[in-house]
Amino acid sequence: MDQLSMTTESPLALLASACRDVAKQTMKASGRISAANRKRFAQYFTPMPVARQMASMLDVPARAVVGDYGAGAGILGATVLGSSLANSASTGTGSQLTLQAYEIDDLLHEAFKNNMGRIGELAAKLWQPAPETSLKGDFVPEAPAILEEGFRPFLDVAILNPPYQKLKQTTDLAHLLRSKAAPTPNLYAAFILLAIECLKPGGQLVAIVPRSFCNGDYFKAFRGWLRCQGSIDWVVRYKRRSNVFRADNVLQENVVFRFRKAVPQAKLVRVSLSDDPECEPELDIHVARDDVLPLDDDRIYVPTSQEELEALHRNRALPCTLGDLGVEIFTGKVEDFRHKDQLNPTPPESGAWAPLVYAHHWQRGSRKLEWSPSTKGKPACLRLDGDVASKRLVSPGHYVVLKRISANDDRTGRVHPAVVTPGCLPGATWAFENHVQVLGPVSGSELAPELANGIAAFLASPDVDRVLKTISGTTQINCNDIRRLRFPTPEALIRMDPASDRQHDAA
């Protein structure tokens, strides 16, 4: 009689039962965490459907050391171990698994041990050796040893849901990362960096992280370091923010990615799109490396439809940059909370003042600015004194304004441009609030009205919306993402001016 005939359930059924128990234990542990503790340690517990998906992305050797850093109640480590045990039982092979875990919150250690005990029970039912597990506290103090010259990597696999928390750049960890590897603005990137340093050549990492690391200057050095370490060969993007960490009310858009250390970048990158981690992917395709990790661009693109891919290709083929058009982009220079004493709901009776443009001064989907002295309860008449007049104002003219914080939906897209003309605003000088991105002429020049209208029409196009969705999952429109778009020629843009009788496609 073989080993499997000693049990009445299949390995997959036994695994499913164990995973349910682990999920219940994890949910109980999550429910006991106070709001203060959750905020202090940036704790967002991985749902079991996500854990199962992440574990399925790993090719775990029969003899493997697994790392889970920021382990929480151990749901990721338990799922990897359980899946590997079930696979070994199904194929009739043996396994020798070790889990090294770190969790800073000792209130979760009991739940972690209970979950590992459940995996030990699963191993016994499957007639597999019980995995060896170790649990330590704070992972951060390990960083100096990991980054020390001569450190010997030991992990075969790492699976991470790291803490989502800003990394203060004055800390010892931030200084160490800057000097030994790459600066990282957030703890989640620091944990990924350290886990990769622990991987053996050929080792794999699967992590669920905010998509923010894919673009923006803050993560530029980290992305450069990551590319030098190996290959990103699989990215899972979720359509809706709210469906991943719904139990913790997290609206950040997250991605899951797989990384292989010290191997050449894969020529094809697998890209999957899910509406919900409990459902089968809506899309599962292999995309050319240059469409995800182009050699001439440090950002990571995640196109998840043929329409997005085609829009990306069309945009890259356009001839002009903003600089070629004589246009620059900047963020509005007035932070209203810093100038409360200078803001009035009506023009002051005496003294110089300037109209302040808020993102509330135009509607989503409309390209017409309708300034008023007060909008949404915010005073918009800026009295000019102190440093305001010299540093934060612009001359009247033609500008294109964008809402810096925008909605992430398919109805109106992400870019909401409006055109500012000399007739829109009173005064000899103007001001833009910090939640407004402004496209205007480079110093010493003017932006022609028909060109401003054409640029607004181009930025409102479905192609630009699709391109930006491949770059960023945040609701923020970054200046650098607009700067690095390609634009049609001035002549083609002018033909896009809605006032023109000769509108043509930008391509």
pLDDT at 105: 92
Q: 327, 324, 297: which is closest to 312 by C-alpha?
A: 297
Mean pLDDT for the stretch of residues 168-183: 96
The yes-or-no verdict on residue 246 having pLDDT over 50 is no
Q: Name residue 136's beta-bridge partners.
A: 102
At 233, the amino acid letter reads D
**pLDDT tier at 80 (50, 70, 90 boundaries)?**
very high
The yes-or-no verdict on residue 245 having pLDDT over 50 is no
Handedness of CA 163, 169, 170, 176 (dihedral sign): positive
The yes-or-no verdict on residue 119 having pLDDT over 90 is yes
- 412 vs 201: which has the higher pLDDT: 201
Tokens of 488: 């049609």
Mean pLDDT for the stretch of residues 276-300: 87
- 224 vs 367: which has the higher pLDDT: 224
The yes-or-no verdict on residue 101 having pLDDT over 50 is yes
pLDDT at 5: 44
Q: How many CA atoms lie within 13 A of 241 on its CB side?
A: 16
- 172 vs 477: which has the higher pLDDT: 172
Backbone phi and psi for residue 159, each to the nearest 5 degrees, phi listed first: -135, 125
At 171, the amino acid letter reads T
Q: 183, 165, 220: which is closest to 481 by C-alpha?
A: 220
402: left (phi over 0), alpha (psi -120 to 50) or beta: beta
Q: Name residue 432's beta-bridge partners.
A: 357
Exposed/middle/buried for residue 56 (C-beta within 10 Å: 0-12, 13-18, 19+): exposed
Average pLDDT score over the chain: 89
pLDDT at 499: 65
Exposed/middle/buried for residue 352 (C-beta within 10 Å: 0-12, 13-18, 19+): middle
pLDDT at 500: 56
Is the separation of the CB atoms in 259 and 232 below 8 Å?
A: yes
The yes-or-no verdict on residue 248 having pLDDT over 60 is no
Report the alpha-carbon angle 469-472-477, nearest 5.
95
